Amino acid sequence: MTILLATHPAYELHDTGRSHPERPERLKAVAAGVAASELDADLVPFRPTPAPVVAIERVHPGRYLTALQEFTAAGGGYLDADTAVSEESFDVALLAAGAGLEAIARLDAGQADAAFCAVRPPGHHATGERPMGFCLVNNIAVAAAALADRGERVLIVDIDAHHGNGTQDIFYADPRVLYVSLHQYPLYPGTGALDDTGYGDGVGFTINFPFPHGTTGDVYRAALDEVILPVADAWAPTWLLVSAGYDAHRRDPITGLGLAAGDYADMARNLAQLVPVGRQIWVLEGGYDLEGLAASVAATLSSLAGGAVRPEPATAGGPGHEVVMAVSALRRRE
């Protein structure tokens, strides 16, 4: 399989300040992971262009974008206790949101079998009205809304250790988008409870796995086998978008889950089964240990392309199976 790789040197211009975990060096770690994936001719790189404002306005109102642009133009600073921006950050955020849109167009044209968007800033914490958690524009929501508006059934699987509260909020009442999150709980931002399943027409289209500290890869595999795969078989999504956060890796300095690179390889292989070839996009979210990030990206890309690069073995033996059982029971009652 061939993999589109979207990235841009301008992503490093988003300056979060000294010692911030969401730093430009993360993209150097991703690049090391790409090199270690041994894809060679199976990799199709491209530099994305900025997302049109009209595409972003599907999920963020114009007043939100105007306020963000004005704040960065004035020199930037901290939007909240965690989210720092520089003068270049607004333009970089548009470029990050554009990666998913361009990946859709290129996959539509048959240029590859899947896409990986190595972008920053990340996006899944950004709600329609609020930047937070290092996130400015919700990159994956912009792509999902574009697909949904043209009639696609979009499955978003969020594997970041932090719950994607922004993505959930944007699609909470929308039955065109099925949002699934596997995350540590309790952990920032404190959302993603088991019984958060949607609102109105969207009831049943949000699935949360709030895993305890130390959860290992065998639990993630059980969640896929026992819940996510059956749900996808029944709903038949036409596109898969993955919020590819690598901070569930056991080395990550700001989380407490127990995954390793081999677990990301397993997830990539299993998730790829959920949609037709040429209809999946992985978008970088978190991952703050550079060694763990590089290894996990290498394993992901290799697995997506049918390779066998696994810098670390898969993990097992941790807690969390009771969460999978609880989600399964909740789905049977709905």
pLDDT in tens, 210-242: 999 999 999 999 999 999 999 999 999 999 999
Cα 282 to Cα 288: distance, rounded to the nearest angstrom:
17
Per-residue pLDDT reduced to its tens digit, 280-317:
999 999 999 999 999 999 999 999 999 999 999 999 99
Q: Could you report the per-residue pLDDT of 158-194, keeping only the tens digit for each?
A: 999 999 999 999 999 999 999 999 999 999 999 999 9
The catalytic residue positions are 125
Name the H helices within the chain. Answer: 25-36, 53-56, 62-73, 89-108, 139-149, 165-171, 217-223, 229-235, 261-271, 290-304, 321-333
Angle, alpha carbons 191-251-319 (nearest 5°): 55
Superfamily assignment of 3-333 in CATH?
A: Histone deacetylase domain (3.40.800.20)
Q: How much is the pTM?
A: 0.98
Residue 319: how many other CB atoms lie within 10 Å: 14
Can you give the residue ranges of every domain in the chain? 3-333
Asked if 317 and 218 count as a contact pair (C-beta separation under 8 A), the reply is: yes
The encoded tokens of residue 296 equal 């996990």
Residues contacting 81, CB < 8 A, separation 6+? none
Of all residues in the chain, the percent with pLDDT exceeding 90 is: 99
Please give the pLDDT value at position 246.
98
